[in-house]
């Protein structure tokens, strides 16, 4: 659906090679090509004068230079532009669907680290990017990695060098800074639901400022807000990466509007911000009830593959991943309901809040670790983390755990206000929670 949009193009500059340099690429003897080349410049051959000789040499030089540019430029260009390319840890989900998990630590002790998962659909020359990341630099690095990976593969397998893949489609699943602020790096019209577009217009200026505080001005250099202009609507079909995807909009779930892409044929669901990996869910702009309803729908589809935030689940694991997310949210509901029954205030409820059950709150995201002192990342850590960066820096790990504890308190307070409404209305309206948290006891029965 986002095809035929012009992408960022690399500028090819042709250097002014000397004749001596071009001679390095001469064939060993006079080849058919060279004879043909000479033949093109035979208009003065009858006189065999000095001028003709000059034109002959010039003709050979020009044609061989063009041949060099045409045949060898991709290899030399690869060496020039890909030597320092980021080596992103792509996780192949199924052919034509790959994910990379980004983690960007804060540059200040009080700041927040940010995580996001980017998905690339397609494996040919045209690919679509879902949630490009938090900054312009990250978006550019992503494109560089894609181009260099493809060219490197073609050169190493001795195939004919071909054009690097172009990002021709850009999709935002929801209006959170980590997912959308790299939009500007692609020179494309991004696609999203109207809810995400409107939320970006409303919140992105503040999000950009907050992200700049967390990640630093250098990391945010060049980053600008690019609001999606292509609107995706619930129920529509779109083609991306050689597959048909159905668009589902889950309203008021993780955010105001969460886009889910569902490939029924492949059993693949791209869940955006609705399912989390090691990090706790973020209940800032969404609602517990809407989120639980969205999870129930995802479970009913019975996907074989699930891609969430910092998470890829395969066959046999998907239901467990969805259930884990549901249990966290239902745990918030249960705790709030019990607290209300006991007459607690909000402040009392979170005073000694126990850590969430069945959630590895003390684990840093996989593939999101900061290198130790003896390891040098291939690129700045404000871009992406790499699989070689395995060791965890103790200070950053502690900061991450503190952030997770604060997130849990925040989530509990958000859930409290939502549960409180149904708790107060329980005599007049049936509570929604038993239906959404069937496996969780004491939620309003």
Q: How far apart are CB 331 and Zn ion at their closest, in Å?
A: 20
Element (H, E) at 318: helix 318-341
Q: How far apart are CB 273 and Zn ion at their closest, in Å?
A: 3
Q: Which is nearer to Zn ion, 176 or 414 (CB)?
A: 176
Q: Which x/- pattern over 322-361 shows residues binding Zn ion (rule: CB under 5 A)?
A: ----------------------------------------
Q: How far apart are CB 288 and Zn ion at their closest, in Å?
A: 15
Q: Which stretch binds Zn ion (CB under 5 A): 36-44, 145-153, 172-180, 407-415?
A: 172-180
Q: How far apart are CB 284 and Zn ion at their closest, in Å?
A: 8
Look at residues 294, 245, 237 and name the one whose alpha carbon lies nearest to residue 266: 245
Q: Which stretch binds Zn ion (CB under 5 A): 173-181, 290-298, 314-322, 379-387?
A: 173-181
Question: ∠ CA(245), CA(250), CA(255), 5° rounding?
Answer: 120
CA distances 253 to 86, 279, 354, Å, are: 34, 17, 24
Please check whether residue 278 is in contact with residue 401, taking contact to mean a CB–CB distance below 8 angstroms: no
Residue 20 DSSP SS3: helix
The dihedrals phi and psi of 351, each to the nearest 5 degrees, come to -60, -50
Q: How far apart are CB 281 and Zn ion at their closest, in Å?
A: 9
CA–CA gap between residue 273 and residue 260 (Å, rounded): 9
Q: Which stretch binds Zn ion (CB under 5 A): 2-10, 67-75, 268-276, 419-427?
A: 268-276
Q: Which is nearer to Zn ion, 112 or 243 (CB)?
A: 112
Q: Which is nearer to Zn ion, 114 or 150 (CB)?
A: 114
Q: How far apart are CB 226 and Zn ion at their closest, in Å?
A: 18
Q: How far apart are CB 256 and Zn ion at their closest, in Å?
A: 11
Look at residues 305, 246, 357, 196 and name the one whose alpha carbon lies nearest to residue 1: 246
Q: Which is nearer to Zn ion, 137 or 176 (CB)?
A: 176
CA atoms lying within 13 Å on the CB side of residue 78: 19
Q: Does 176 participate in binding Zn ion (rule CB under 5 A)? A: yes
CA–CA gap between residue 222 and residue 184 (Å, rounded): 9
Q: Which x/- pattern over 215-254 shows residues binding Zn ion (rule: CB under 5 A)?
A: ----------------------------------------
Q: How far apart are CB 88 and Zn ion at their closest, in Å?
A: 20
Q: Which of 102, 273, 277, 331 forms a contact with Zn ion (CB under 5 A)?
A: 273
Q: Does 114 participate in binding Zn ion (rule CB under 5 A)? A: no
Lookup result for tokens 């395969």: 314
CA distances 156 to 79, 152, 160, 162, Å, are: 12, 6, 10, 13
Q: Which stretch binds Zn ion (CB under 5 A): 33-41, 58-66, 104-112, 171-179?
A: 171-179
Q: Which stretch binds Zn ion (CB under 5 A): 185-193, 272-280, 361-369, 426-434?
A: 272-280
Q: Does 140 participate in binding Zn ion (rule CB under 5 A)? A: no
The dihedrals phi and psi of 261, each to the nearest 5 degrees, come to -110, 130
Q: How far apart are CB 113 and Zn ion at their closest, in Å?
A: 14
Look at residues 265, 295, 301, 266 and name the one whose alpha carbon lies nearest to residue 281: 295
Please check whether residue 340 is in contact with residue 348, taking contact to mean a CB–CB distance below 8 angstroms: no
Please check whether residue 436 is in contact with residue 296, taking contact to mean a CB–CB distance below 8 angstroms: yes
Q: How many residues bind Zn ion (CB under 5 A)?
A: 2
Please check whether residue 415 is in contact with residue 408, taking contact to mean a CB–CB distance below 8 angstroms: no
**Burial class of 155 by CB neighbour count within 10 A (0 to 12, 13 to 18, 19+):** middle
Q: Which stretch binds Zn ion (CB under 5 A): 77-85, 168-176, 190-198, 347-355?
A: 168-176
Q: Which two tokens stand for residue 6?
A: 């012009």
Q: Which is nearer to Zn ion, 266 or 273 (CB)?
A: 273
CA–CA gap between residue 159 and residue 177 (Å, rounded): 40
Q: How far apart are CB 176 and Zn ion at their closest, in Å?
A: 3
Q: Which is nearer to Zn ion, 60 or 204 (CB)?
A: 204
Q: What is the dihedral of CA 434, 440, 442, 445, to 10 degrees?
A: 20
Q: Which is nearer to Zn ion, 282 or 443 (CB)?
A: 282
Q: Quote the DSSP letter at residue 12.
A: P
Q: Which is nearer to Zn ion, 272 or 432 (CB)?
A: 272
Q: How far apart are CB 441 and Zn ion at their closest, in Å?
A: 29
Catalog residues that contact Zn ion under the rule CB under 5 A.
176, 273
């Amino acid at each position: 659906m986002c095809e035929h949009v012009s992408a960022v193009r690399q500028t090819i500059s042709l250097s002014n090679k000397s004749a001596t340099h071009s001679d390095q690429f001469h064939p060993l003897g006079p080849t058919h090509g060279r004879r043909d080349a000479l033949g093109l410049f035979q208009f003065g051959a009858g006189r065999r004068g000095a001028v003709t000789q000059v034109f002959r040499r010039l003709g050979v030089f020009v044609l061989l230079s063009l041949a060099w540019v045409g045949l060898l430029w991709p290899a030399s260009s690869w060496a020039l532009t890909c030597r320092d390319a980021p080596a992103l840890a792509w996780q192949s989900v199924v052919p034509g669907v790959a994910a990379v998990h980004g983690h960007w630590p804060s540059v200040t002790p009080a700041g927040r680290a940010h995580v996001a998962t980017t998905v690339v659909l397609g494996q040919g020359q045209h690919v679509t990017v879902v949630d490009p990341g938090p900054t312009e630099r990250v978006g550019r690095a992503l494109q560089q990695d894609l181009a260099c990976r493809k060219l490197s593969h073609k050169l190493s397998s001795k195939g004919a060098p071909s054009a690097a893949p172009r990002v021709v489609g850009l999709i935002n699943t929801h209006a959170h800074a980590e997912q959308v602020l790299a939009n500007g790096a692609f020179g494309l019209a991004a696609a999203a639901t109207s809810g995400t577009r409107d939320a970006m217009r409303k919140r992105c200026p503040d999000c950009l400022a907050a992200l700049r505080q967390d990640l630093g001005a250098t990391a945010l250099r060049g980053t600008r807000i690019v609001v999606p202009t292509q609107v995706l609507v619930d129920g529509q079909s779109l083609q991306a990466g050689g597959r048909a995807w159905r668009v589902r909009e889950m309203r008021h779930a993780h955010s105001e509007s969460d886009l889910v892409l569902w490939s029924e044929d492949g059993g693949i669901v791209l869940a955006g911000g609705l399912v989390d990996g090691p990090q706790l869910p973020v209940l800032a702009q969404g609602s517990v009830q809407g989120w639980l309803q969205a999870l129930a729908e995802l479970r009913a589809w019975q996907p074989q593959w699930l891609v969430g935030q910092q998470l890829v689940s395969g066959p046999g694991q998907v239901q467990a991943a969805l259930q884990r997310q549901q249990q966290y949210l239902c745990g918030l509901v249960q705790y709030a309901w019990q607290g209300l029954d006991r007459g607690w205030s909000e402040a009392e409820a979170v005073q000694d809040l126990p850590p969430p059950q069945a959630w590895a709150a003390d684990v840093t995201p996989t593939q999101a670790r900061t290198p130790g002192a003896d390891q040098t990342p291939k690129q700045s850590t404000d871009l992406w983390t790499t699989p070689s960066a395995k060791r965890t820096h103790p200070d950053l790990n502690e900061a991450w755990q503190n952030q997770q504890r604060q997130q849990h308190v925040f989530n509990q307070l958000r859930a409290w206000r939502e549960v409180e409404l149904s708790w107060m209305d329980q005599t007049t309206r049936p509570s929604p929670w038993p239906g959404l948290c069937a496996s969780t006891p004491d939620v309003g029965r």
